[in-house]
């Protein structure tokens, strides 16, 4: 079973990389890290930072998830101004589908202090990976 999972997960990583290479406005560094061009990333940061409450920031994150693609690092930066951890987790989850490097999405758990919320995010990622095959 482990070999089957690893084979499927490896296929998933290849599919993710292939899909990410077709994103308009993206380019890659020597380490294959995807960088989304400035014209895509300037407005989203301002849109979230210009709101007052965490709920408004979550609402903006949900809207952005339908309009842009983001790397895990960009999602981390977008959500830094969200102070409530439960709301931050909701923002992470709402941005998952627009993440171009889903294989690293679990690293966002480092941005949560609550062990329960970290576990919830890891379970979400595990379940999402299974359903993407």
Task: For 49-96, write each residue's pLDDT tens digit.
Answer: 889 999 999 999 999 999 889 999 999 999 999 999 999 999 999 999
The predicted structure's pLDDT at residue 47: 86
Structure tokens at 82: 């969200």
Q: Report the distance separating Cα 55 and Cα 11, nearest Å.
A: 37
Of 93, 87, 78, 82, the closest CA to residue 126 belongs to 93
Average of pLDDT values for 30-42? 45
Helix (H) or strand (E) holding 28: strand 26-28
Q: What pLDDT band is residue 40 in, cutting at 50, 70 and 90?
A: very low
Of 107, 125, 91, 104, the closest CA to residue 16 belongs to 104
Q: What pLDDT band is residue 5 in, cutting at 50, 70 and 90?
A: very low
Could you report the per-residue pLDDT of 94-131, keeping only the tens digit for each?
999 999 999 999 999 999 999 999 999 999 999 987 65
pLDDT value at 29 more than 50: no
Structure tokens at 88: 């931050």
pLDDT value at 32 more than 50: no
pLDDT top residue among 30 and 48: 48
pTM over 0.75: no
């Amino acid at each position: 079973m482990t070999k089957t999972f690893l084979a499927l997960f490896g296929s998933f990583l290849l599919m993710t990389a292939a899909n990410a290479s077709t994103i308009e406005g993206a380019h890659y560094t020597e380490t294959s890290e995807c960088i989304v061009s400035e014209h895509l990333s300037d407005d989203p940061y301002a849109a979230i930072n210009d709101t007052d409450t965490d709920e408004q920031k979550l609402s903006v994150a949900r809207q952005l998830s339908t309009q842009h693609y983001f790397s895990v690092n960009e999602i981390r930066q977008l959500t830094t101004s969200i102070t409530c951890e439960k709301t931050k987790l909701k923002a992470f989850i709402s941005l998952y589908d627009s993440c171009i490097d889903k294989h690293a999405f679990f690293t966002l758990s480092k941005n949560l202090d609550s062990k329960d919320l970290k576990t919830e995010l890891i379970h979400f990622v595990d379940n999402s990976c299974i359903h993407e095959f």
